[in-house]
Amino acid sequence: MNDACYTYSQQLMGTTVSLQLLTENPQAVAAVFNTIKALETRLTVNRPHSEVMSINHAAGKHAVVVSELVFDLIKQAKQASLLPNSSFNLAIGPLVKLWKIGFNGHRVPDAQSINEKRRLIDPNLIELNQHNHSVYLAKKGMEIDLGAIAKGYIADIIKLVLAQHNIHHAIINCGGNVLTIGSSPFTPNQHWQVGLKKPFASATSLLGIIQVQDKSVVTSGIYERYFVQDDQIYHHIINPATGYPLNNELDSITIISTNSLTGDIFSTIMYGLGCKKGLAALNERNSMGAIFVTKDKRIILKNQQHFQFHLLDQSYQLCPAD
């Protein structure tokens, strides 16, 4: 391997997607971005037409047959939604559209509207037929939203695309979802370096550096999409149990895992559990590491066999949990 690095980026999935390769490979780059565009077209709910929107349009009317790819992703998302105490919910769409956090027209909805939408977010009402790959939303007004899982799924697919082009050392960054492939030639320990953002600070302000090799790094934070009303912060991580943004001691949580889909799911679930319950849950899931960032400026590291962390901001206290 040489010490050169080639970076390519495009605006996709509502964010900047960047790809870093160690060698120039125009065919691989074209294949990556074409794959992302094709998958986004199938999975998005931010356009009138997609495979997912065809399901939403038919809610309460009839089942919709979708591709095996989309069906399998919905199946995995439903399974994650039905885990005990899961804040991950693929049926959260009606509440997301009601709050409009991160979009024009955001506001605090009235309690009646929230309660009405909560009746439409039960993942048990999503009926899946494995035989013909059909999906049926049992109530009119229900909406699947794969936004919390699509980036991770797509990042994992990109890794497969790169392998087909014999590329086994790279970084994929899908805006908060970073997937490192293989080892890095740029550091003595051959670990890739991923920045951990400082909450509510400039985009370049970092709390520290996460060092990983062949791992996914996914962060869920309340500082990416939010608005302030009457001195109260309302962020985009909605609690399915209440219909309001989750309110706990965390500013963010980062999951370090083998694949990015797992990171997507469990960054949301662990954020919802909060520090104490999240750390306890990770005792049972030592296949992933985690970094909890609290509102009172503590950084808690869990299952550090999966990563190394170098603190940059001395206003925060480093607290290993292991």
| pLDDT score of 1 more than 60 | no
Which of 303, 214, 266, 320 has the alpha carbon at shortest distance from 311? 320
Residues 6+ apart with CB under 8 A from 48: none
Which position has the higher pLDDT, 136 or 102? 136
Residue pair 270/283 in contact (Cβ under 8 Å)? The answer is: no
Percentage of the chain beyond pLDDT 90 is: 87
- Cα 285 to its chain centre, rounded Å, is 18
| pLDDT score of 208 more than 90 | yes
Residue pair 275/292 in contact (Cβ under 8 Å)? The answer is: yes
Per the prediction, the chain carries an average pLDDT of 94
pLDDT in tens, 249-272: 999 999 999 999 999 999 999 999
Cα angle at 222 between 262 and 288, to 5 degrees?
A: 25
Q: In sequence order, what are the beta bridge partners of 193?
A: 211
Residue pair 19/7 in contact (Cβ under 8 Å)? The answer is: yes
pLDDT in tens, 163-196: 999 999 999 999 879 999 999 998 999 999 999 9
| pLDDT score of 297 more than 70 | yes
pLDDT the model gives residue 200: 94
pLDDT in tens, 4-17: 789 999 999 888 99
Cα angle at 208 between 203 and 210, to 5 degrees?
A: 105
pLDDT the model gives residue 140: 97
Distance separating alpha carbons of residues 213 and 307, to the nearest angstrom: 8
Q: Is the dihedral of CA 260, 99, 245, 284 positive or negative?
A: negative
Distance separating alpha carbons of residues 34 and 71, to the nearest angstrom: 21
Residue pair 41/35 in contact (Cβ under 8 Å)? The answer is: no
* Residue 21 exposure: Cα atoms within 13 Å on the Cβ side: 20
Q: Give the pair of three-digit tokens for residue 170.
A: 């790279």
pLDDT the model gives residue 82: 97
pLDDT the model gives residue 102: 81
Under the banding of pLDDT at 50, 70 and 90, the label for residue 226 is: very high
Percentage of the chain beyond pLDDT 70 is: 99
Burial 258-278 (b: 16+ CB within 10 A, else e): ebbbbbbbbbbbbbbbbbeeb
Which of 177, 171, 123, 131 has the alpha carbon at shortest distance from 152? 177
pLDDT the model gives residue 3: 62
Q: What is the average per-residue pLDDT within 153-157?
A: 96
pLDDT the model gives residue 322: 64
pLDDT in tens, 59-88: 999 999 999 999 999 999 999 999 998 999
Instruction: Identify the structural domains of the chain with CATH numbers, from first to last.
Output: 6-31+155-320 (3.10.520.10), 51-145 (1.10.3980.10)
Distance separating alpha carbons of residues 236 and 243, to the nearest angstrom: 11
